[in-house]
Amino acid sequence: MKISFIAAAAALAATTALTACSTSSSGSDSAAGGDRLTVWIMKDSVSDTYLQRFKKDFEQQHKDTALDIQIQEWDGIGEKVTAALASKDAPDVIEVGNTQVAQYAASGGVTDLSGKAAELKGADWLPGLAGPGKVDGKQYGIPWYAANRVVVYNKDLFAKAGITAPPTTRDEWIRITEKLNKGTTQGIYLPGQNWYTLAGFIWEDGGELAEQSGGTWKGALGSPEALNGMAFYERLQALGKGPKDSDEAKPPQADVFAKGDVAQIISVPGGAKIVEQANPALAGKLGFFPVPGKTAGKPGVTFTGGSDLIVPAASAHQDAAYEVVKALAGEKCQTDLARTMSYVPNRTSLAKVIEDNEGTAAMAAAAAQGRATPNSPQWAAVEATNPIKQYMTAVLTGSDPKQAAKEASGSITKTLGS
């Protein structure tokens, strides 16, 4: 699943030449009479330079294989991938949003890679990528990269308010935001329908968006734990002037933050690049910290977006396709990808490779606590109408939270059961 600012941040990432993903050797750059693999990569996921270097190095290491890397648009990709999986000439490797794996696996057209998990260091994978890639006990999606939200803050406004360090707990976060919320300064800009952020709060309180029991999915926004998460969101949202009936895209929260009178937003770190582009005076004045949790020293649970890699069952080059996945998911390529694109690597042990980047380090710390949306093939249909957004607006505008949660949960249950 792609989350706000990932594509934009990727477009702003450095496109300088990369270190090769594996040790190069002499030889031709393409196969002579060998396998030709088709690899689908989503637009703006990685730079062209990264892909060119990966292709060249991979082909040098696998002289009987040539790669045809094709860039795909996100718009309409669900239907295109579903059709490809049902065909006899499917691509060999496909990048998919991490929460799309269950939808594609349900078609029966995705290769089960469970037997490769140990070789790929699966025990070290980020839970927000590995979990959605595993359906009915089988690992169909191999984690590639992750990105998640952190708090981006204005260091000057923090200093002006006498705040010397970011908060480490929810309660401290509220106290600091109240202190920042003075005069013309908004303590935080939090739109009323930022439902990915709400999901993190619900998970932190022990709730769920939906739960599965006996093979049936049901909406779960009405549980006491989920209601506590919404109550925290309501409390935090009130400490700013964010609209109650729209998300972070309307208006673009980067533009709001760029005006210089907002102390905090919740965004992927790449959002800071867009803010600085809109207001160069803020360059070097933005800081980052993980969304705080209930316990000091432990970041709050956050939604993890990003991509997994799948191999269609119809691929005629199963072994070679796996070699592509193995290379992209391997330590050296992961290190290059993280440093170049400011993504979180697919393994928790690799977080150290980005610790010198404040924004990405904060993101990696939160990713260790990351979660993904309910692993149902029908979840994409829930997001299409997204009753969670309507639920949030209803609560923020004075409706009874329990009744609003009941209605939204009913809508989720109906969609998941369709």
Q: Are residues 50 and 175 in the same domain?
A: no
**Mean predicted lDDT score pLDDT of the chain:** 91
Q: Are residues 380 and 361 in the same domain?
A: no
Using 50, 70 and 90 to split pLDDT, how confident is the model at 107? confident
Q: Are residues 102 and 28 in the same domain?
A: yes
The neighbouring-strand residues paired with 347 are 125
Q: Are residues 335 and 398 in the same domain?
A: no
Q: What CATH number is associated with residue 287?
A: 3.40.190.10
pLDDT(14) > 50:
no
Quote the pLDDT of residue 182. 93
Q: Is 133 exposed, middle or buried (0-12, 13-18, 19+ CB in 10 A)?
A: buried
Kindly report each contact of residues 343-347 with a partner whose C-beta sits within 8 Å and lies 24 or more positions away, as own/partner: 343/145, 343/146, 343/147, 343/306, 344/126, 344/145, 344/146, 344/147, 344/148, 344/306, 345/145, 345/146, 346/125, 346/126, 346/129, 346/143, 346/144, 346/145, 346/146, 347/121, 347/124, 347/125, 347/126
pLDDT(28) > 60:
no
Q: Are residues 340 and 384 in the same domain?
A: no
Q: Are residues 222 and 202 in the same domain?
A: yes
For residue 169, tell me if it sits in a domain: yes
Q: Are residues 398 and 283 in the same domain?
A: yes
Quote the pLDDT of residue 1. 54
pLDDT(13) > 50:
no
Last residue of a domain, one of 356, 371, 386: 371
pLDDT(16) > 60:
no
Give the residue-averaged pLDDT of 144-150.
95
pLDDT(27) > 70:
no
Q: What is the pLDDT of residues 382-415, one digit of tens each?
A: 998 999 999 999 999 999 999 999 999 999 999 9
Q: Are residues 277 and 194 in the same domain?
A: yes
Count structural domains, the chain: 2
Q: Are residues 252 and 396 in the same domain?
A: yes
19-33, 115-129, 220-234, 243-257: range with lowest mean pLDDT = 19-33
Which of 418 and 370 is assigned the larger pLDDT? 370
Give the residue-averaged pLDDT of 103-114.
94
Quote the pLDDT of residue 193. 98
**CB 68, CB 39: distance < 8 Å:** yes
pLDDT(8) > 80:
no
Quote the pLDDT of residue 345. 94
Q: Are residues 295 and 388 in the same domain?
A: yes
Which of 21 and 380 is assigned the larger pLDDT? 380
**Residue listed under structure tokens 């690049």:** 273
Using 50, 70 and 90 to split pLDDT, how confident is the model at 21? low
Q: What is the pLDDT of residues 215-269, one digit of tens each?
A: 899 999 999 999 999 999 999 999 999 999 999 999 999 999 999 999 999 999 9
For residue 214, tell me if it sits in a domain: yes
For residue 1, tell me if it sits in a domain: no
Give the residue-averaged pLDDT of 266-273.
91
Quote the pLDDT of residue 81. 96
Q: Are residues 282 and 390 in the same domain?
A: yes
Quote the pLDDT of residue 342. 84
Using 50, 70 and 90 to split pLDDT, how confident is the model at 340? confident
For residue 175, give its domain range.
Answer: 150-299+375-416
Using 50, 70 and 90 to split pLDDT, how confident is the model at 33? low
pLDDT(283) > 60:
yes
For residue 309, tell me if it sits in a domain: yes
Round to whole Å and give the CA distance between 181 and 163. Answer: 12
Q: Are residues 294 and 197 in the same domain?
A: yes
Q: What is the pTM of this model?
A: 0.87
Instruction: For residue 261, give the amino acid letter.
Output: D
Q: What is the pLDDT of residues 211-228, one digit of tens each?
A: 999 889 999 999 999 999
